[in-house]
């Protein structure tokens, strides 16, 4: 998927709003006002609000300030501290105008204030504006993690995903496999056909890898120039090697002409696979280093092939 398709594909149709108020009547009023345009969720106290934010990931929270136990400020501070919820747009709903309170709210990271009793037109307009700002920010954030040429995840996204996947597999005592792929003799390809054709080749190969690695929790990223990396949680070495071989075979079957490749008439790739059952105290870079070593060996032994290894606990 390329950037332009991506942009047209992800425009949110309906935003999600969480209404938080200890008074049912206030929730009812806002619900009535907003339900036709947005998906509405509700919470009656601060703890519930935090739980709901983690669960439903709303775009906007309309947050009452005056609540027993955890008040709105406490909830906002909590949401902004947690990476899971820090991106939510908080709009405070306050019983009366109080400049000091507004200052405090903005300092805590709120994006706007609405006063009760709410004015329906103003409230709707402000929420619409914030929803637009939120969706544009979300879009920029996701584009920043995409590779512009191939539309795959980029290196930054990989650097974000690997530690999270590592911890998840460590927690579940599940194997984690990565596949490092490199197009064989890509410099020859560029020298022969030019960089425009080189770019096309990268796109086609990227798409093929993405099509082959298709479980929802797998990640395929462009790792460097003509290098790609796959992160496969809950996958052992046999499974990972199988996937890598499928990729290698599928690239040959594309029959992209490469007349100056010393090993084939067509574009080929080499793959290094490494698998580990992660431990919390292991650095995750050992997995990448191991795959890199296997990739090097695969190149050394003739390219267009897969080599893999298990990373042991004490390596």
Residues in contact with Mg ion by CB under 5 A are: 22, 64, 66-67
What b/e readout covers 251-263, taking b as 16+ CB neighbours within 10 angstroms? beeeebebeebee
What b/e readout covers 23-34, taking b as 16+ CB neighbours within 10 angstroms? eeebbebbbebb
Residue nearer to Mg ion on the CB measure, 45 or 236: 45
**Nearest residue to Mg ion, using CB?**
66
> How far apart are the C-alpha atoms of 184 and 106, rounded to whole Å?
54
Residue nearer to Mg ion on the CB measure, 23 or 168: 23
- Residue 146's contacts (CB-CB under 8 Å, 6 or more residues apart) are 3, 6, 152, 153, 154, 157
Residue nearer to Mg ion on the CB measure, 67 or 76: 67
Active-site residue, from 66, 99, 226, 227: 226
Helix pair angle (120-143, 24-34), 10° resolution: 70
User: Does the active-site annotation cover 313?
Assistant: no
Q: How far is the CB of 71 from Mg ion (least distance, A)?
A: 9
Residue nearer to Mg ion on the CB measure, 27 or 153: 27
> How far apart are the C-alpha atoms of 2 and 146, rounded to whole Å?
9
- Tokens 């070593």, residue located: 293
Contact (CB, 8 A) for 43 and 95: no
Where in 89-234 does DSSP place strands (E)?
A: 89-94, 112-115, 176-183, 219-222, 227-233
Q: How far is the CB of 21 from Mg ion (least distance, A)?
A: 6
Q: How far is the CB of 52 from Mg ion (least distance, A)?
A: 17
Residue nearer to Mg ion on the CB measure, 62 or 244: 62
Q: How far is the CB of 22 from Mg ion (least distance, A)?
A: 4
> How far apart are the C-alpha atoms of 173 and 171, rounded to whole Å?
6
Q: How far is the CB of 149 from Mg ion (least distance, A)?
A: 51
Active-site residue list: 226
């Amino acid at each position: 998927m390329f950037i332009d398709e991506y942009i047209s594909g992800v425009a949110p149709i309906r935003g999600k709003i969480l209404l938080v108020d200890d008074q049912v009547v206030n929730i009812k009023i806002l619900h009535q006002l907003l339900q036709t345009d947005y998906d509405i969720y509700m919470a009656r106290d601060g703890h519930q609000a935090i739980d709901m934010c983690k669960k439903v990931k709303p775009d906007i929270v309309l947050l009452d300030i005056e609540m027993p136990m955890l008040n709105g400020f406490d909830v906002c501070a909590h949401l902004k501290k947690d990476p899971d919820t820090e991106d939510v747009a908080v709009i405070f709903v306050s019983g009366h105008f109080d400049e000091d309170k507004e200052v405090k709210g903005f300092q805590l990271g709120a994006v706007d204030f609405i006063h009760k009793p709410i004015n329906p037109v103003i409230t709707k307009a402000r929420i619409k504006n914030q929803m637009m700002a939120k969706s544009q920010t979300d879009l920029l954030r996701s584009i920043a993690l995409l590779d512009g040429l191939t539309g795959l995840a980029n290196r930054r996204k990989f650097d974000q995903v690997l530690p999270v996947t590592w911890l998840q597999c460590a927690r579940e005592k599940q194997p984690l496999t990565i596949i490092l792929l490199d197009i064989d003799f890509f410099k020859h390809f560029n020298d022969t056909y030019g960089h425009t054709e080189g770019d096309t080749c990268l796109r086609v190969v990227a798409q093929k890898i993405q099509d082959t690695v298709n479980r929802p929790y797998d990640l395929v990223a462009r790792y460097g120039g003509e290098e790609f990396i796959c992160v496969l949680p809950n996958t052992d070495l046999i499974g990972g090697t199988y996937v890598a071989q499928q990729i290698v075979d599928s690239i040959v079957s594309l029959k992209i002409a490469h007349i100056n490749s010393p090993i084939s008439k067509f574009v080929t790739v080499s793959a290094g696979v490494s698998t580990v059952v992660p431990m919390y105290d292991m650095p995750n870079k050992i997995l990448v280093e191991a795959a890199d070593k296997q990739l090097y060996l695969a190149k050394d032994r003739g390219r267009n092939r897969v080599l893999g290894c298990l990373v042991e606990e004490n390596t």
